[in-house]
Amino acid sequence: MRVTCDGFPPHHIDGLLPIAGSPKRNPKPRCAPRFAGASLMRRPTHPMRTFMIGTRTWAFALSMAFAIICCAPAIAAQFDGNWSMLAVTTSGHCGSIPIGLGISRGRVYSTGGGFAGHPIQLVGRISASGQVRMNAVAGPRSAHGIGRFNQFRGSGTWAGTGPSGICSGVWNATRS
């Protein structure tokens, strides 16, 4: 009598006895390879292992993102407060533009100022080392700036576009 991998006759596999005249089944049973101490009912663990590695990687990436987002502003708190900024045009014809700034937990925002009859909306980020990136909009005009702050002053460059053309220049800020 032929026996399958689990030691039972072939009809036990599907619960039916072979029917006379039915096509022959593969005489060689498909058996899982036997490993020392492994059960025949045990499935390979590769998919689970991959899932666990993926989960660990995802958890690590999520915790690092949380640390970067939450901790950097706390370190950048040395720049928190109100600042007075003056953007001076060196190329173009935009003039001098005074802007009130606020810095809180690494975020830079405008507290006052206007250009060509439009309020200035300025937003940006400051790193723990004082490096800053800012974007400003005043009506149809927009500008971006980069620079560096220390505990008492800040300075950098800016460039912008509007209906009257392209302007660029430097900016300086002092703590208010």
Q: Output the pTM of the full model.
A: 0.58
Closest by alpha carbon to 87, among 155, 164, 135, 138?
155
Enumerate the domain spans of the chain: 1-41, 76-175
Residue type, 41: M
Condensed to tens digits (0 to 9), the pLDDT of residues 10-65 reads 554 444 555 555 555 555 555 555 555 555 555 555 555 555 556 677 677 766 66
Right CATH number for 76-175 from 2.40.128.120, 3.90.330.10, 2.40.30.10, 2.40.50.430? 2.40.128.120
For strands 131-138 and 121-126, give the pairing: antiparallel
How far apart are alpha carbons 95 and 88 in whole angstroms?
Answer: 6
Residues of the chain with pLDDT > 70: what percent? 59
